[in-house]
A and B are shown apart, each in its own frame.
Chain A
Amino acid sequence: MKHCEHVYGTKMEVFIEKSKQTLQHKPCTGAQLLKSLDINPQTVLLVRNDEVVLDHEELSEDDKVKILSVVSGG
């Protein structure tokens, strides 16, 4: 499996809601992105350009990706 890395200087922008972090990431699938960030897919929604996408979908350059946290509350 091709592993992707979060590298500064590439075009895919990823916002992580839980940590309120924005980072640049090489294009890859949603599942690869979550794996590289060590995020359990059960705990998040993957949103590409304001549309929910499934984990297996490809995320490309110029995409704005959000990783929304499912777990909240106390």
Chain B
Amino acid sequence: MNCMKCEEKAIYEHNNLKLCKTHFLSYFEDKVAKTIKKFNLYEKGDKVCVAASGGKDSLAVLYMTSKYCKKHHIDFFALAIDEGIGGYRDHTLDDLRAFCETHGIQLEVASFHSSFGQTLDMIRDDAIKNHNKKPCTVCGVMRRTLLNRNAKRLGATKLATGHNLDDESQSFCMNLFKGNMRHNASLGPITGINQHANFVTRVKPLYYILEKETRLYTFLKGFKVEFTECPNIDLSFRSVIRDKLNELESQFPGTKNGIVNAFMDALPDLKEKYRGKNDYKVCERCSDPCSGKICNACKLEEQLCRA
């Protein structure tokens, strides 16, 4: 089967798209650049902080950010969070350090241990047994807090993440199935604009990119990405939704695109409906933005890290 744009052999086929290596790389990069421009994810005067883990999504978003920001003279750097998950994060951080060195990218690292006094491995069992908290919930809250806190501290105006079409369709479905449409109003390619002075605006340049496309891109570019799956992933609701959506995508190609396109169509109405209900206050303990008096990270820190 040949590429739909030239006579070369196709190496990517999805939903009527058939592309050779050269045209797949162009398709990927154009799609990301268009997303950045369409939603003004990066603008002149911005200082972009890329949340990086060393996994394929973060390497792709870091590389594309580097390419775009260098071309448009926008400051950027990478920020990694070391949660302390043995046999997982230590490997991806090694890959990330090597990648940043090769591409001349400034890398900052913050850790659960230095910030909360404990690693995720140290509090994992206590969280499950005594507090009925899944490790992914604990990790997600603390990780988001450290990303925002450190991005702010380092002067970032935008916080870029490697969230892709799979992630977004999963998040939408998770909120839908839990009857939590209010949280869906907080999704989208750019979030947190003017939400709070202490909240760094979050952007998702890979918003319309499938996870499989990112893996293919990193493979074709020769980025060192070894398969590493978080040992806690099977405990999450997300993994169940992820598998179901992959089954649907296999049977009905374009399902994930359809979900996100339908969501984007409804997003203005969702934002209007929940206007003011997702507003942030300030945590009484750490001054981070939060919805109540005490932020979730401070609550978890008290429950799990000070026992």
Residues of A within 8 A of B246 (CB): 40, 42-43, 71
Q: Which of B13, B57, B219 has the most CB of A within 10 A?
A: B219
| A34-70 at interface with B (beta carbon < 8 Å) | 40-43, 45, 47, 51-56, 68-70
Given contacts A45-B216, A54-B13, A68-B215, contact A73 B230 (CB under 8 A): yes
Given contacts A53-B11, A54-B1, A54-B10, contact A70 B136 (CB under 8 A): no
Q: Are A72 and B228 in contact (CB under 8 A)?
A: yes
Q: How far is the CA of A52 from the CA of B139 in the complex (A)?
A: 34
Asked if B175 lies at the interface with its beta carbon under 8 angstroms from chain A, I say no
Q: How far is the CA of A47 from the CA of B222 in the complex (A)?
A: 13
Residues of B within 8 A of A54 (CB): 1, 10-13
Q: Are A52 and B220 in contact (CB under 8 A)?
A: yes
Q: Are B216 and A74 in contact (CB under 8 A)?
A: no
Bin the interface of chain B by size: 20 to 34
Bin the interface of chain A by size: 20 to 34
Q: How far is the CA of A18 from the CA of B227 in the complex (A)?
A: 7
Q: Are A40 and B250 in contact (CB under 8 A)?
A: yes
- In the complex, how many angstroms separate the beta carbon of B61 from the nearest chain A beta carbon? 13
Q: Are B211 and A70 in contact (CB under 8 A)?
A: yes
Q: Are B1 and A73 in contact (CB under 8 A)?
A: no
Given contacts A42-B246, A52-B219, A53-B11, contact A72 B56 (CB under 8 A): yes
Asked if B119 lies at the interface with its beta carbon under 8 angstroms from chain A, I say no
Q: Which of A71, A72, A73, A74 has the most CB of B within 10 A?
A: A74
Chain A residues within 8 Å of B, Cβ to Cβ: 17-18, 40-43, 45, 47, 51-56, 68-74
What are 19 A-B contacts with C-beta separation under 8 Å? A42-B246, A43-B212, A43-B246, A45-B215, A45-B219, A51-B11, A52-B11, A52-B12, A54-B1, A54-B10, A69-B215, A70-B211, A71-B246, A72-B225, A73-B55, A73-B230, A74-B85, A74-B88, A74-B232
